[in-house]
Structure 1
Amino acid sequence: MQVRHTRPFLKWAGGKYRLLDKLTPHLKGRKLIEPFVGSGAVFLNLNFERYLLGDINPDLINLYQCLKKERGQFIRYACSFFIPENNSRKHYLEFRQEFNNGLKGRRRAALFVYLNRHGFNGLCRYNKSGGYNVPFGSYEKPYFPEKEMLHFIKQAKHATFVCGDFVSLMNRSRRGDVVYCDPPYVPLSPTASFTSYAAQGFSYDQQVELAYRAKHLAERGVKVIISNHDNAITRKIYEDAKIESFPVRRSISCDGNKRGTAKELLAVYE
Structure 2
Amino acid sequence: MPKVSIKSNKKLSNASAVTPTPYKSPLKWAGGKRRLVSNIAQWLPKKSTGRFIEPFVGGGSVFINLPYSNYLLVDSNPDLIGLFNALKSNKNEFLELAEPLFTPEFNQAEQYYSLRKEFNDCDKGLRRYALFMYLNRHGYNGLCRYNLKGQYNVPFGKYKRPYFPELEINRCHQQLQNAHLQSGDFSLAFEQAQPGDIIYCDPPYFPLGETASFTAYSGVAFSFDDQQRLALLAEDAQMKGVTTVISNHHLPATLSLYQNANKIVPLKVSRTISCKGSVRKPIKELLAIYKA
Contact in 2 for aligned 1:55/1:162 (Cα 8 Å)? yes
- CA–CA separation in structure 1 for the residues paired with 2:232 and 2:211: 19
Confirm whether residue 261 of structure 1 aligns to residue 282 of structure 2.
Answer: yes
Contact in 2 for aligned 1:249/1:259 (Cα 8 Å)? yes
SS, match of residue 163 in structure 2: coil
The residue aligned with 1:5 is 22
1:169 to 176, 179, 189: 189
Contact in 1 for aligned 2:29/2:59 (Cα 8 Å)? yes
2:77 to 47, 50, 57: 57
Contact in 2 for aligned 1:198/1:204 (Cα 8 Å)? no
* CA deviation map 1:109-149 (0-9, x unaligned): 00001101111111111111111011111111110000000
The residue aligned with 2:259 is 239
Contact in 2 for aligned 1:52/1:160 (Cα 8 Å)? yes
Change (3 A) 1:252 1:100: closer
Q: For 1:34, give the aligned amino acid.
A: E
CA RMSD of aligned residues (A): 1.8
Identity of aligned residues (%): 47
Change (3 A) 1:194 1:221: farther
The residue aligned with 2:139 is 119
Between Structure 1 and Structure 2, how many residues are aligned?
267
Q: How high is the TM-score relative to the length of structure 2? A: 0.87
Change (3 A) 1:66 1:214: same
Measure how far apart 1:254 and its partner are.
8.1
- CA–CA separation in structure 2 for the residues paired with 1:194 and 1:180: 27
Measure how far apart 1:251 and its partner are.
5.0
Measure how far apart 1:195 and its partner are.
9.2
Contact in 2 for aligned 1:194/1:203 (Cα 8 Å)? no
SS, match of residue 210 in structure 1: helix
By relative contact order (CA 8 Å, sep 6+), the higher-ranking structure is 2
The residue aligned with 2:41 is 24
Q: For 2:180, give the aligned amino acid.
A: T
Contact in 1 for aligned 2:268/2:284 (Cα 8 Å)? yes
The residue aligned with 1:107 is 127
- CA–CA separation in structure 2 for the residues paired with 1:98 and 1:220: 46
The residue aligned with 1:180 is 200
Contact in 1 for aligned 2:26/2:168 (Cα 8 Å)? yes
* CA deviation map 1:153-195 (0-9, x unaligned): 111110011101111111100000000000000012xxx3389
- CA–CA separation in structure 1 for the residues paired with 2:215 and 2:166: 35
- CA–CA separation in structure 2 for the residues paired with 1:197 and 1:233: 17
SS, match of residue 187 in structure 2: helix
Contact in 1 for aligned 2:202/2:247 (Cα 8 Å)? yes
Q: How high is the TM-score relative to the length of structure 1? A: 0.94
SS, match of residue 80 in structure 1: helix
- CA–CA separation in structure 1 for the residues paired with 2:285 and 2:199: 18
* CA deviation map 1:194-250 (0-9, x unaligned): 895566511001101100110111011000000000110000000000111121111
SS, match of residue 269 in structure 2: strand
Q: For 1:111, give the aligned amino acid.
A: L
